[in-house]
Amino acid sequence: MKFYMLQIYKIIKPVVVCICLSILWVKISMAGSDYRPTQSSYTVYNESATSTVSQNFLGSLANAGIIIGQIVIVTIIIVIMFKRGHIKILIGFFMVVVAMLLGFMGYILLLNLIQVLRIPLDYITMAFALWNFAVAGLISVFWKGPMWLQQVYLTVMSSLMAFSLTGLAEWTTWMLLALLVVWDLIAVLCPFGPLKILVESSRNQNQEVPALLYTVNAVWFMASPPNSILEREYSRSKEGSTVRDSVEESGDLRRDVFNGGHSRSTGREGGTSISSSRHSGLDTPFSTGGRMSGNSSTVALVPTASNQSADHGDIELRERTPSSSSPRSGGSTTSDRDRRSASVRRAQAIEQGSRSRPQDGGDNDGDGDDEDESGGLKLGLGDFVFYSVLIARAAMFDWVTTMCCMVAVLTGMNATIFLLAIYQKALPALPISICFGMLFYFATRFALVPFLAALGPSQVFI
Amino acid sequence: MAKPIEKMGADEILVISRKLFYGGFCLLPLLWVYNILYIWPVRNRADLSPLVRRYLLLSGILAAMLFVYFSVWYGVFVKERLNWGARGDLLTVVLVKGV
């Protein structure tokens, strides 16, 4: 449990940063900017102040249904592509998406910032800065780069994605979040859920594909759980267990696709590996952006770090894991990309005794050696994005609500990690957090805020 | 994310450093900064080729030059844009309200 505590801290840090960035973007852009993200052109229903509740409900259900449908389709396509081994296509796609996300969303956000903050800026400098920003992001995410930089980029991308989603109407946002929870559960927990299939196929092929694609927001190394000690034989196998969530978002359309997959598989050797991946595609608010977007986020918890050194000695593994985990623990959070994709597969590792490669970062392909692998909690970018979306929506209302939702979401995340520690299998990260967040949002909005408003003038302190 | 830089061989580091250095000439000074940040932790490693240090040094110098250049350009722009009239407005991304 101590290891989990450490992991939780490391995972919460980027989440909080991402959420705070999203709140900042929303607050700034609400201060009178003309460039707020707009509704997607795929929305079939526009809320108006005069429409009734039932109209709003059905209309937003239709909007969210369209988005979810797109997400589901994109997820399935990705799964099929992956399964067939067209990994290079997927990576190319994700690269385009990431570049588009960083470029276009960065542009939109920049327009907001410079207008609200009244910064005079010329096009030459801005284009130059955006070009550099986007290319450096691409390199750090898909090629090589310091872990912390990758993590920074992934966090920023998540917040950009969340910012783009704030253009959705209020009812649609809530409906979308609710449907995503359902989809997440289905994709991760059902035997034939797409995410589960993705994780398993990646494991079977021993590819880290998702990792390449991926955008793993954060990888933390986790120390091996104490249990592992008890089971030596399984220790290796457990190393493999990971949970991933990857979320891919595809943007143009504003789709949000969120898939969460869990897969729990038993390694041939008796090890169990769990991974959950979520893909969620989000559409960017802009239609202009075109399609781009994929976020994938993955969260994986790997209870035990997997190291594979050439030898597979089981016993040694234990000892290694703690040591190996520590050095890295700091570094590996990374996540990227917003939009598109990220497939996440980090965890895989060890199933087959042959090689487990865990990747921390992502792209390692080829190396046989995998010390890198280490177990860690992995949180999908999609999770980052949707947490941030929920809180950004709350931030558009009120500060009290925002803080309540933040606490609720983080609580939900901790609860998920706790369950993960208990079940040792991949779990969808969204359901508990989003349910808590929505519950707290409405409770705060309709009960707490009026209450505080009444208390404030009378100077009553509780 | 590949494996951490500390575990890479000297050859690999050299290749990375060279690619980032030349990539920086595509109007990408950030890659030079990136290069420095990336290689910095291992810059004093014994087995590292001296070329790596040279790339890093050149990257730093070039990045600093471009930074100065853009700083100067931006200062000129902010100061003079109102005097440039329509041309200045054309260059401005968002017209600042008030002034």
pLDDT digits (tens, 9 = 90+) for B74-84: 888 888 877 88
State pLDDT tens for residues B45-55. Answer: 777 777 888 88
Q: How many helices (H) and strands (E) does chain A have?
A: 16, 5
Give the DSSP H/E element, type plus range, for residue A42: none
Asked if the Cβ–Cβ distance from A126 to B93 is below 8 Å, we say: yes
Residues of B in contact with A363 (CB under 8 A): 1-2
- Residue A282 to residues A288, A291, A401, A415, B86, Cα–Cα distance (Å): 14, 10, 24, 25, 40
Q: Which residues of A touch B98 (CB under 8 A)?
A: 118
Count of CB atoms situated within 10 Å of the CB of A309: 13
What integer pLDDT is reported at residue A375 of this predicted model?
45
Q: Looking only at Cα atoms, what is the longest distance across chain A?
A: 71
Q: What is the pLDDT of residue A241?
A: 35
Contact at CB, B77 and A125, closer than 8 angstroms:
yes
- Report which DSSP code applies to B6: G
Residue A162: enclosing H or E segment and its boundaries? helix A147-165
Mutate which of A121, A372, A381 to disrupt the B interface (most B C-beta within 10 Å)?
Answer: A121
Chain A to chain B Cβ contacts (< 8 Å): 98
Q: Which of A115, A120, A132 sits opposite B81 (nearest CB)?
A: A120
Which has more pLDDT, A192 or A99?
A: A99
The pTM of this model reads 0.64
pLDDT-derived band at B68 (thresholds 50, 70, 90) equals very high
- Note the ipTM here: 0.81
Give the CA-trace dihedral at A289, A291, A293, A294, to 10 degrees. 180
> Residues B1-20, buried b or exposed e (16+ Cβ, 10 A)?
bbbbbeebeeeebbebbebb
pLDDT of residue B72: 92
Residue A291, pLDDT above cutoff 50: no
Maximum alpha-carbon separation in chain B: 59
Question: Cβ separation of A128 and B70 shorter than 8 Å?
Answer: yes
Segment A329-340 mean pLDDT = 34
* Contact yes or no for A100/A130 (Cβ under 8 A): no
* Average confidence score pLDDT of chain A: 62
Report chain B residues whose CB lies below 8 A from the CB of A332: 1
Distance, CA of A216 to CA of A300 (rounded, Å):
9
Angle in degrees, CA A63, A69, A70, rounded to 5 = 95
User: How far apart are alpha carbons A152 and A137 in whole angstroms?
Assistant: 9
DSSP assignment string, B37-66: HHHGGGTT-TTS-HHHHHHHHHHHHHHHHH
- Check residues A445 and A345 and name the one with the higher pLDDT: A445
